[in-house]
Structure 1
Amino acid sequence: MADIVVNQSYYPGIVAFFILYGISSISILTKLNFENTKAVSAILLDLPIFIIVYIIFFLINHLLKQTEVIEAALKDITVKKLEKDSMYNDLKEAYERVENITALKERNRIAREIHDTVGHTLTTVLVELEAARRLIKKDLELAESKLNLAQNQVRKGLNDIRSSVRILENGQDILDFYSDLESIIAETEKHSEAIIKAQIDYDIVLNKGQEKVILSALLEGLANGIRHGKSSAFLFKLYENKEKVLFSLEDNGKGSDIVTYGFGLRAMRERILELNGSLDISSKLGEGFGIYITFPYYKKSDNET
Structure 2
Amino acid sequence: MSRPVPWVSPVLYGAVLIAGLYAWLAGLGDTRPVPFVAGLAALAVLDRFERRIDPVLLLALRVGLFTLVASADGAGLSRVLFVLVPFTAYFAFGRTVSVALAVGCVVVFAAAGTIHDPHWLADAGQVSDLLMFCVGLVLAVTMAAVAAEERRARMELAASAAAVAELSATAERNRVARDIHDDLGHHLTAIVVLLEKATAFRDLDAGAADRAVADAHGSARRALEDVRRSVRTLRESFSLEEALSALVEGQPDVVLEFSGEEGGHDPAALRALYRAAQEGITNARRHARATRVSVAASLDPRGAELVVSDDGRGFAPESEGYGLLGMRERVELAGGRVDIGSPPGGGTRLTVTIPRRAAP
Q: Normalising by the residue count of structure 2, what TM-score does the alignment of the two structures yield?
A: 0.49
Contact kept in structure 2, 1:229 and 1:253, CA below 8 Å = yes
Give the percent of matched residue pairs that are identical in Structure 1 and Structure 2: 26
Counterpart pick for 1:200 among 214, 236, 258: 258
Residues 272 and 125 (structure 1 numbering): CA distance in 2 closer, same or farther, change over 3 Å? Answer: same
**Equivalent in 262, 283, 290 of residue 224 of structure 1:** 283
Match of 1:179 among 242, 247, 255: 242
Conservation of the 8 A alpha-carbon contact between 2:238 and 2:267: no
Compared with structure 1, are the counterparts of its residues 145 and 281 closer, same or farther at alpha carbon in structure 2 (3 Å cutoff)?
closer
The one-letter code matched in structure 1 to 2:223 is G
Aligned to 2:180: 114
> Which residue of structure 1 aligns with residue 169 of structure 2?
103
Structure 2: runs of 5+ lacking an equivalent: 1-162
Does the CA contact (< 8 Å) of 1:132 and 1:142 recur in 2?
yes
Runs of 4+ in 1 over 4 A off after TM superposition: none
- Name the SS of the counterpart of 2:298 in structure 1: strand
**CA shift in 2, pair 1:201/1:286, >3 Å:** closer
SS of 2:288's equivalent in the other structure is: coil
Any idea what SS the aligned residue of 1:256 has?
A: coil
Equivalent position of 2:298 in the other structure: 239
Secondary structure in 2 matching 1:119 = helix
Distance 1:241 1:100 in 2: 37
Q: How does 1:1-305 map to 2 (within 5 A)?
A: 100-161=166-227, 164=230, 166-167=231-232, 171-172=234-235, 176-189=239-252, 194-196=253-255, 198-205=256-263, 206-240=265-299, 243-283=302-342, 287-298=346-357, 302-303=358-359, 305=360
Assess if the C-alpha contact under 8 Å between 2:258 and 2:297 holds in 1: yes
Structure 1 unaligned blocks of 5 or more: 1-96
3-state DSSP of counterpart to 2:204: coil
CA deviation after TM superposition for structure 1 residue 202, in Å: 3.5
Amino acid at match of 1:280: D
After superposition, the Cα gap between the structure-2 partners of 1:158 and 1:239, relative to the gap in structure 1 and judged at 3 Å, is: closer
Higher normalized contact order (CA 8 Å, seq sep 6+, divided by chain length) = 1
Deviation readout 1:49-96 (Å, 9 max, x if unpaired): xxxxxxxxxxxxxxxxxxxxxxxxxxxxxxxxxxxxxxxxxxxxxxxx
Q: C-alpha distance in 2, partners of 1:180/1:201?
A: 14
Q: How many residues align?
A: 196
8 Å contact kept, 2:303–2:354: yes
Deviation of residue 259 (structure 1)? Answer: 4.2
Deviation at 1:218, TM superposition (A): 0.5
Instruction: Give the CA deviation at 1:215.
Output: 0.6
Query: In 1, Cα distance between the equivalents of 2:293 and 2:221?
Result: 26
Change in Cα spacing, 1:285 to 1:126, as seen in structure 2 (3 Å) is farther
Following TM superposition, by how much is the alpha carbon of 1:148 offset from its aligned partner in structure 2, in angstroms?
2.8
- SS state at 1:132 partner: helix
Give the AA of the match of 1:275: A
Deviation at 1:282, TM superposition (A): 1.4
AA at the equivalent of 2:195: L
Contact 1:251 1:288 in 2 (8 A): yes
Q: Aligned partners of 2:344, 2:193: CA distance in 1, in Å?
A: 23
Deviation, structure 1 residue 150: 1.5
Does the CA-based 8 Å contact 2:304-2:354 persist in structure 1? yes
Cα contact 2:314–2:342 (8 A) shared by 1? yes
Higher radius of gyration, 1 or 2: 2
Deviation at 1:279, TM superposition (A): 1.2
